[in-house]
Every structure is written in C-alpha cells, then in structure tokens.
Amino acid sequence: MPTDDIKAVVRRFNIEVIQNGSAEAFAELMAPDFLNHAAPPGRPSGPESMWATFETVLRPAISDLTVTIHDQIAEGDRVTTRKTIGGRHTGALLGVPATGKTIAIDVIDIVRVENGRYREHWGLNTLQAVLASLRA
C-alpha cells in the first residue's frame, strides 16, 4: 500500500476506534492475528488487548475523549504516530478515582499495516506519569 494509504488506516483507527469507540471500525481494521508488542507482561497481546485498553480502561474514565494526531511518518508497511489522547478524568482510571481534571496522555506508536489492517503495534505513552499527577 502507498504510504498515504497506510497513514489513512492509522488515522481512521485513531478517530473511529479510539476516539469514537466504533466496534465496527475495530473489526474492519484489526487483523485476526494482530500482535500488540506493547501489552503489559502476562496480559493478552491479540486484538482483545487493544479493545480492552480503549473500552475498559480509557473510555469509562475519560469523558469527551479526543485523539489529536500531531505527526505521522510512514515507511514501508509501518506508520509512526505522535498523538495525544485527552479529555476529562470523570471515572476511575486504573484505581485512581475521578478528579474532574483535564488530562492528556502523550503517545508515540508504531503500527505495521498489512492489507489495510493493523497487524502489529509497538508503543510508548505517558499514562503512568498522568496517573502519578492525578494521585498527587
């Protein structure tokens, strides 16, 4: 796929799946043999790991969730994205009770796209720093 096309796949995933919570888009964009290299040790690393992050961790805790893509770089079948996931902390987030504060989780991730679908993911984020600031 041309690099503009694989970047569009990643943009669509970020907006339709992460921001808007579309299970239909998730099913369309996720390869059945997807591997999440960023899954915590001992946790599932297939498609369910990505869905669980958004639907059982982030979405219940963050109201008005938005994804802002700052940069995307594509080479071959991989797209690197620098983005911010933000919103208001209105529900428990990994054990931290709601504070009502505006939060911003900075993320850099790499996605390997195969046949228009997410095949592999690597990522780093500032979620732990955000949790520490909420606890302070």
Express each pLDDT in 100-118 by its tens digit: 999 999 999 999 999 999 9
Can you give the residue ranges of every domain in the chain? 3-135
Q: How confident is the model at residue 28 (pLDDT cuts 50, 70, 90)?
A: very high
DSSP H helices, the chain, are: 3-12, 23-29, 47-52, 59-61, 127-135
As beta bridge partners, residue 125 has: 107
Q: Quick check: helix, strand or coil at residue 37? A: coil
pLDDT in tens, 46-57: 998 899 889 999
Q: Quick check: helix, strand or coil at residue 14? A: helix
Q: What is the pTM of this model?
A: 0.94
CATH 3.10.450.50 for domain 3-135: yes
Q: Of 3-17, 20-34, 46-60, 65-79, give the lowest mean pLDDT range.
A: 46-60
